[in-house]
Amino acid sequence: MKEYRDHYFLKAKRENYPARSVYKLKELDAKFRLLKAGMKVLDLGAAPGSWSLGAAEKVGKQGLVLACDIQDTDTVFPPQVIFMRENVFERSPEFESRLAELGPFDFVMSDMAPRTTGTRFTDQARSLELAVEALAVACLHLREGGNFVVKIFMGPDIQELLTPMRKAFTTVKSFKPKSSRAESKETFFTGLGFRGRPQAASADNEV
């Protein structure tokens, strides 16, 4: 298992990514075709910046990645990445203004994770809270037909995330990348085909 972890850690260092997590996004993209040139992407929980860098490579110079995290990062991003230090639970007027200005987004992704306590149920509950908040942000700022990926530590209350996700997206899939550590309880849920905001949903369903 240690060799397996080292492979992705060393690969990230060799390819100049700040963390091994970029390979999870690459696997998700390969499976669900989430990223394309020219897209606008919102990255929640972006630090240290691997997902933002990975997304920036795919959207290219004509695309945009708005990245935010409660922690700062010293990662040097390309021009198509805008990084803001923000708490998604307490979004500042400046951040809300940026979201309104740059959105709607084609893809919202969240690799947010809580500070782990070592107590499984506590960590799962905090992870669920982050995932539900990420979904709320996605539902406000995704374009109709857009996609969403969120990380969560699997637990007994998973339906609190999946029930609203299934209402918001035409398809919801679960996926654990090979680059996730074998012992990790993390799973990624992908929402494909955003139905639109609730006020538009009834009209969408009549089509």
pLDDT top residue among 143 and 13: 143
Domains of the chain, first to last: 2-206 (3.40.50.150)
- Tell me what pLDDT residue 187 has: 96
| Residue pLDDT, tens place only, 165-184 | 999 999 999 999 988 877 78
| Residue pLDDT, tens place only, 19-45 | 778 999 999 999 999 999 999 999 999
Contact 174, 188 (CB under 8 A): yes
- Tell me what pLDDT residue 8 has: 66
The residues annotated with a catalytic role in the active site are: 151
Own/partner long-range contacts of 159-167 (Cβ < 8 Å, ≥24 apart): 160/128, 160/132, 161/128, 161/131, 161/132, 161/135, 161/189, 162/189, 164/132, 164/135, 165/135, 165/189, 165/191, 167/195
- Tell me what pLDDT residue 1 has: 38
**Band (204; pLDDT cuts 50, 70, 90):** very low
Annotate 2-54 with DSSP letters as a single string. HHHHHHHHHHHHHTT-SSTTHHHHHHHHHHH----TT-EEEEES-TT-HHHHH
- Tell me what pLDDT residue 197 has: 82
Is residue 206 pLDDT above 70, yes or no?
no
- Tell me what pLDDT residue 95 has: 95
The model's pTM: 0.90
Sheet holding 142-153, edge to edge: 81-85, 64-69, 40-44, 105-110, 142-153, 186-194, 169-175
- Tell me what pLDDT residue 3 has: 42
| Residue pLDDT, tens place only, 81-129 | 999 999 988 999 999 999 999 999 999 999 999 988 989 899 999 999 9
